[in-house]
């Protein structure tokens, strides 16, 4: 372990609820491996730096063997300096009664300067995950303001939706989550997302042979798509530990690869696959190896799926138009 160079991981919104779970998981090796030392580079707004100091005290008190150093700052040019991974969490969460897209004008402005700072100071191979909502369009804003980086380095989190979808299906079929494979979240991290079971297997059997079609269309899909709102209604605050866990899963699989033959869902720039307009940051089925992701190609798309996939793409186009008007993307 002593001979492995530490990896720099930047996290924004580090004193927030998600940060409080995420940082400890990164420092314990859950994201990049149990033998990979890390340096945490934490960004917060100036008024939250005091609270962040307390989080840093707690991180130090854990005496994590892999945690080599901690940097804190309210300047993205410091926090993103030479970062190999950047998890952009810092943004306002929605309240009951809001859609995530309602946060666009409040949060969109955060991601332009952060994209510019990543462009200027991050490692040229930085892998970026946007968690702050609306995650897909915020990822687009950061990406468009980082012209010297490859657009594919910017991704958005639909992994929480993916994990929710796996868990709901496991519960319905009475099978363990590990029996479920090849599930996809297409599109936006919003209530238009499409949790698609058409290719999914449970213990090798087609999932749609095991559940009622009416349940799938009228209960399962809306339950997964509206789970974030259900958590806000129950907890009085948006999901945090599960969101952090999904962020760990997303980065872990991107960095270290997906399990043999299996795929996961990631929000990535569309290359036009499956007829999704190029450039939108859209949830796709992907396999990862050697630090790269690749869209799973050649899947059959039914008329039902086509309608759902196009509707969520349409919403992302509308969000893109809105941020264009705000001058946040070209």
User: Residues annotated in the binding site, as ranges?
Assistant: 13-19, 94, 100, 107, 114, 131-133, 164
Strand partners of residue 288: 293
Enter the tokens of residue 159. 């992994």
- Residue among 153 and 188 whose Cβ is closer to ligand NAD: 188
- Residue among 49 and 229 whose Cβ is closer to ligand LMR: 229
User: Distance (Å, rounded) from C-alpha 175 to C-alpha 157?
Assistant: 26
Q: Is 162 among the residues known to form the active site?
A: no
- By CB under 6 A, the residues from 143 to 182 that bind ligand LMR are 160
User: Distance (Å, rounded) from C-alpha 31 to C-alpha 27?
Assistant: 8
Asked if 132 interacts with ligand NAD (CB under 6 A), we say yes
Pairing of strands 184-186, 194-196: antiparallel
Q: How far is the CB of 230 from ligand LMR (least distance, A)?
A: 9
Task: State residue 289 phi and psi, 5-degree precision.
Answer: -155, 145
The kind and range of the H/E element at 135 are helix 135-144
Asked if 51 interacts with ligand LMR (CB under 6 A), we say no
User: Distance (Å, rounded) from C-alpha 189 to C-alpha 246?
Assistant: 13
- Residue among 56 and 281 whose Cβ is closer to ligand LMR: 281
Three-state DSSP state, 21: helix
Q: Total residues contacting ligand LMR (rule CB under 6 A)?
A: 11
Which one from 162, 189, 250, 252 is the annotated catalytic residue? 189
Task: State residue 285 phi and psi, 5-degree precision.
Answer: -75, 130
Beta strands in 118-178 (DSSP E): 127-130, 154-156
Selected binder of ligand LMR within 12, 107, 123, 133 (CB under 6 A) = 133
Choose the binding region for ligand NAD from 9-17, 32-40, 141-149, 285-293 (rule: CB under 6 A). Answer: 9-17
In the list ligand LMR, ligand NAD, none, the entry touching 132 (Cβ below 5 to 8 angstroms by class) is: ligand NAD
Contact 184, 308 (CB under 8 A): no
Asked if 108 interacts with ligand NAD (CB under 6 A), we say no
In the list ligand LMR, ligand NAD, none, the entry touching 231 (Cβ below 5 to 8 angstroms by class) is: ligand LMR
Contact 53, 22 (CB under 8 A): no
Residues that bind ligand NAD (CB under 6 A): 12-13, 15-19, 43-45, 48, 89-94, 110, 131-133, 135, 157, 160, 189, 238-240, 243
Catalytic (active-site) positions: 189
């Amino acid at each position: 372990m002593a001979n492995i160079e530490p990896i720099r991981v930047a996290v924004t919104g580090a004193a927030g609820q998600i940060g409080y779970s995420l940082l400890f998981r990164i420092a314990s090796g859950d994201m990049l491996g149990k033998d990979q030392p890390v340096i945490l580079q934490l960004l917060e707004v100036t008024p939250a730096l005091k609270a962040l100091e307390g989080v840093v005290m707690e991180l130090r008190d854990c005496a994590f063997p892999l945690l080599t150093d901690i940097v804190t700052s309210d300047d993205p040019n410091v926090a993103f300096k030479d970062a190999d991974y950047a998890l952009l969490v810092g943004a306002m969460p929605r309240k009951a009664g809001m859609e995530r897209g309602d946060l666009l004008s409040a949060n969109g402005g955060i991601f332009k300067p952060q994209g510019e700072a990543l462009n200027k100071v991050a490692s040229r191979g930085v892998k970026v995950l946007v968690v702050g909502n609306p995650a897909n369009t915020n990822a687009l804003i950061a990406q468009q303001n980082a012209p010297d980086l490859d657009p594919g380095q910017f991704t958005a989190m639909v992994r929480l939706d993916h994990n929710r979808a796996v868990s709901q299906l496991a519960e319905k079929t009475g099978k363990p989550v590990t029996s479920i494979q090849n599930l996809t979240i297409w599109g936006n991290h919003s209530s238009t997302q499409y949790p698609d079971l058409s290719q999914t297997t449970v213990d090798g059997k087609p999932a749609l042979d095991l559940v009622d079609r009416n349940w799938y269309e009228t209960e399962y899909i809306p339950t997964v798509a509206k789970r974030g709102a259900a958590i806000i209604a129950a907890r009085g605050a948006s999901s945090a530990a599960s969101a952090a866990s999904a962020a760990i899963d997303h980065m872990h699989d991107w960095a270290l690869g997906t399990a043999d033959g299996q795929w996961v869902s990631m929000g990535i720039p569309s290359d036009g696959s499956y007829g999704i307009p190029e450039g939108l940051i859209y949830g796709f089925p992907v396999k990862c190896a050697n630090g790269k992701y690749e869209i799973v190609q050649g899947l059959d798309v039914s008329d039902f799926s086509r309608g759902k996939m196009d509707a969520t793409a349409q919403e992302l186009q509308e969000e893109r138009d809105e941020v264009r008007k705000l001058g946040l993307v070209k």
